[in-house]
Homo-oligomer: A and B are copies of this chain.
Amino acid sequence: MKPWLPEHITLASGAGGRAMRHLVEHVFLQDAPEVADGDVGPLAMDDGAALRIGERWLVLTTDSYVVKPLFFPGGDIGRLAICGTVNDLAMMGATEVVGLTCGVIVEEGFARADLERIQASMRAACTQAGVRVVTGDTKVMARGELDGLVLNTAGAALTDRVVRDNGLQPGDKLLLSGTVGEHGMAIAAARSGMEFQGDLRSDVAPLGSLVRALLAAGGADVVALKDPTRGGIASAVHEMAQKSGVGVVLDGPALPMLPAVRAMAELLGIDPLHVANEGKALIGVRPWAAHKVLEALREHPQGRDAAIIGTAHAEHVGQVILDTGLGRRLLREPEGEPLPRIC
């Protein structure tokens, strides 16, 4: 059934939740191409596409970045653009990155010093991630036609095995590689002009090395990967549940969260489960391997706060239930990220 679609694009259309999914499904995926058996194409709406080349898969992914402000506590649009694309590749199990591309669109009058700062940040993020931007493109729009600068990165990586976001079966454990909500809350705080952000910083980081470590530990028992970006944990777990045909019960008290995030969330009235993370992975693991994978995560510098946060069930298919410790409630699929231009 075709859902109601607005005649004009709204901010929610790009916010990573239900509204965006409907737009993508009913506009961008009209007559979308089929791909070969075993390949992952656009209809899968996964973090990227996977196409067989010989004995392996080439994974392709792309994201545009419109984050506001361009520089924020813990990072900037350049670091975000590198990490976002590296992470989308990693979330398909593809950590052998062939190369990234980068498209820059900038407003006339933009300070060259800021461009150089963003460029240096991209270069540093590439070094940290062990990847390269191999080709790029520059466009300029006139003053007033674009708010500053936007970036697009695409990436190509090879893998012997594609990990999807739809592989959960009843009984599987859901792991999270670290604390929840820093990127979204840091942006929200920066935008609200709050001076007392304290140690609230975006978690933006490349996850290739972490994913290599967890795949080395869990092998084929790692059955699903997804990074909870726009729309946060709530959107990402809903997507995994719906695509896998399971229900997921989240163990609320087990969700790792920094006190600064909790405090800012209460102050701003924003649910930290609804905001973007930019350096975290959700990992679906067969029950018998969950502790082994958790251990591997915790031994990794980026996974010290990792936790088992949920379990897949045969009931409540497509739904996410939050066990708060005091009771259970349905966690609704968000319409979208509460803040526009979060990434």
A: residues with CB less than 8 A from B are: 5-15, 20, 23-24, 27-28, 30-33, 35, 41-42, 46, 48-49, 51, 53-54, 58, 60-66, 98-99, 101-113, 115-116, 119-120, 123, 126, 132-142, 144-147, 150, 152, 154, 156, 158, 340-341
Which residue, A51, A106, A120, A145, has most C-beta atoms of chain B within 10 A? A145
Q: A-B pairs with the 7 shortest C-beta distances?
A: A14-B140, A154-B154, A49-B134, A62-B101, A152-B152, A145-B147, A64-B103
- A10-B108, A112-B9 known; A28 vs B134 contact (CB < 8 Å): no
Kindly state the separation between the CA atoms of A279 and B303 in the bound complex, as whole angstroms.
Answer: 50
Does the CB pair A13–B138 fall under 8 Å?
yes
Kindly state the separation between the CA atoms of A9 and B148 in the bound complex, as whole angstroms.
Answer: 11
Contacts of A23 in B (CB 8 A): 138
Does the CB pair B101–A66 fall under 8 Å?
no
Kindly state the separation between the CA atoms of A51 and B101 in the bound complex, as whole angstroms.
Answer: 13
Closest approach, in angstroms, between the C-beta of A135 and any C-beta of chain B?
Answer: 4
Does the CB pair A132–B62 fall under 8 Å?
no
- A8-B109, A112-B8, A156-B156 known; A98 vs B135 contact (CB < 8 Å): no
Given contacts A60-B101, A145-B341, 15 further A-B contacts (CB under 8 A): A6-B112, A8-B112, A9-B115, A13-B106, A14-B139, A27-B112, A32-B133, A53-B98, A53-B158, A60-B135, A62-B154, A64-B139, A66-B141, A141-B150, A154-B154
Does the CB pair B134–A60 fall under 8 Å?
yes
Does the CB pair A136–B42 fall under 8 Å?
yes
Does the CB pair B14–A62 fall under 8 Å?
no
Does the CB pair A42–B133 fall under 8 Å?
yes
Does the CB pair A140–B63 fall under 8 Å?
no
The contact of A140 among B10, B120, B152, by CB within 8 Å, is: B10
Kindly state the separation between the CA atoms of A94 and B49 in the bound complex, as whole angstroms.
Answer: 20
For A131, the closest partner residue in chain B by CB is B33
- A112-B9, A123-B30, A135-B61 known; A140 vs B104 contact (CB < 8 Å): no
Contacts of A105 in B (CB 8 A): 64, 66, 150
Contacts of A119 in B (CB 8 A): 27-28, 30
Closest approach, in angstroms, between the C-beta of A52 and any C-beta of chain B?
Answer: 10
Does the CB pair A13–B150 fall under 8 Å?
no
Does the CB pair A9–B41 fall under 8 Å?
no
- A98-B53, A110-B9, A152-B103 known; A58 vs B61 contact (CB < 8 Å): no
Contacts of A112 in B (CB 8 A): 5-9, 27
Contacts of A341 in B (CB 8 A): 139, 141-142, 145
For A110, the closest partner residue in chain B by CB is B9
Kindly state the separation between the CA atoms of A147 and B143 in the bound complex, as whole angstroms.
Answer: 10
Does the CB pair B31–A123 fall under 8 Å?
yes
Does the CB pair B103–A63 fall under 8 Å?
yes
Kindly state the separation between the CA atoms of A9 and B142 in the bound complex, as whole angstroms.
Answer: 10
Kindly state the separation between the CA atoms of A146 and B137 in the bound complex, as whole angstroms.
Answer: 19
Can you sample 7 A-B contacts with CB below 8 Å?
A7-B112, A11-B108, A12-B140, A30-B116, A33-B132, A61-B101, A139-B150
